[in-house]
Amino acid sequence: MAAPERSPALRCEAVRKAFGRFVAVNDVSLDVAPGEIFGLLGPNGAGKTTLIHCVAGLARQTSGRISVFGHDTVSDFRQTRRMVGLVPQEINFDPFFTPLESLLIQMGLMGVEPDRDKAEALLATFSLSSHRHAYTRHLSGGMKRRLLIAKALVHDPKLLFLDEPTAGVDVELRHELWDEVERLRAQGTTIVLTTHYIEEAQHLADRIGIIHRGRLLVVDDRDELLLRHEGRSLEQIFLSHIHGADAHAAAQ
């Protein structure tokens, strides 16, 4: 059955993911609109990456339902997997492949015909053309980070997850990646961004979600959130919600 045309890019309905007795994601319900940049903020261990893995098919939720543009990630996983791109938090690469080879292989893994022209275009976009034939192990950390993003884009995903995309990169590269994120959104890509750089979320995100101990504490328009807490930075608002949740948990 065809998905409704106006379906959210991402819908999570009472999603729960447990590892034994530990609950990493606890009853998360969330809609992300097509074409928006959604910033998902939370401290280490909050459940951000686990939730992303459930959407991307790297894990299966214990209960609840997830859909991508109206397609269920469990019953229609082939369709949803083709719609999703993921830039993981950890830098991973095969040291014996070049950037060009890595992109061509990734195309095959994602079920699209390897296209050298497209691979070359992605290398140019991320300033990797001069290193196309270098072994990936010889790239700098920032270059490896850019290659990860290029690999996530080989199949033209409609929904892109950026999990700490600028961790460990210098200021210049961070701003270059911000420009690329905004360019992708202008082309119609929906983006979910997790980051510990609160400035990054404030600069890029249309809406902000704060997750802690597996629970979604708040979801709001960025500008309205800042207006409602006039005089406070997004970082101060974030910390206020985290500390408030901790105090509430300690009192119970």
pLDDT tens sequence across 144-167: 888 999 999 999 999 999 998 887
Greater model confidence, 252 or 197: 197
- Calpha distance 116→138 (Å, rounded): 22
20: left (phi over 0), alpha (psi -120 to 50) or beta: left
State the average pLDDT over residues 102-108.
94
For residue 4, what pLDDT band results from cuts at 50, 70 and 90?
very low
DSSP letter string, 82-127: HHEEEE-SS----TTS-HHHHHHHHHHHTTS---HHHHHHHHHHTT
State what percent of residues in the chain have pLDDT above 90: 75
For residue 1, what pLDDT band results from cuts at 50, 70 and 90?
very low
pLDDT at 5: 52
- Calpha distance 65→88 (Å, rounded): 22
- Calpha distance 215→29 (Å, rounded): 9
For residue 248, what pLDDT band results from cuts at 50, 70 and 90?
confident
State the average pLDDT over residues 191-219.
94
Compute the C-alpha angle 172/183/51, nearest 5°.
Answer: 85
Residue 214 has pLDDT above 60, yes or no: yes
CATH code for the structural domain at 10-251: 3.40.50.300
The candidate with the shortest Cα–Cα distance to 147, out of 173, 171, 167, 122, is 122
Greater model confidence, 175 or 153: 153
pLDDT tens sequence across 77-99: 999 999 999 998 887 778 889 99
Residue 128 has pLDDT above 80, yes or no: yes
DSSP letter string, 18-59: EETTEEEEEEEEEEE-TT-EEEEE--TTSSHHHHHHHHHTSS
pLDDT at 101: 95
Q: What predicted TM-score, i.e. pTM, was given to this entire model?
A: 0.91
Cα distances (Å, whole numbers) of residue 233 to 76, 166, 237, 239, 240: 41, 21, 6, 10, 11
- Calpha distance 91→104 (Å, rounded): 18
Helix pair 141-152, 99-109: axis angle to 10 deg:
30
State the average pLDDT over residues 109-127.
93
State the average pLDDT over residues 15-33.
97
Q: Domain boundaries in the chain?
A: 10-251
DSSP for residue 1: -
State the average pLDDT over residues 128-157.
90
How would you class 125 by CB atoms within 10 Å of its CB: exposed for 0-12, middle for 13-18, buried for 19 or more?
Answer: middle
Terminal C-alpha separation, the chain: 46
State what percent of residues in the chain have pLDDT above 70: 98
- Calpha distance 229→244 (Å, rounded): 15
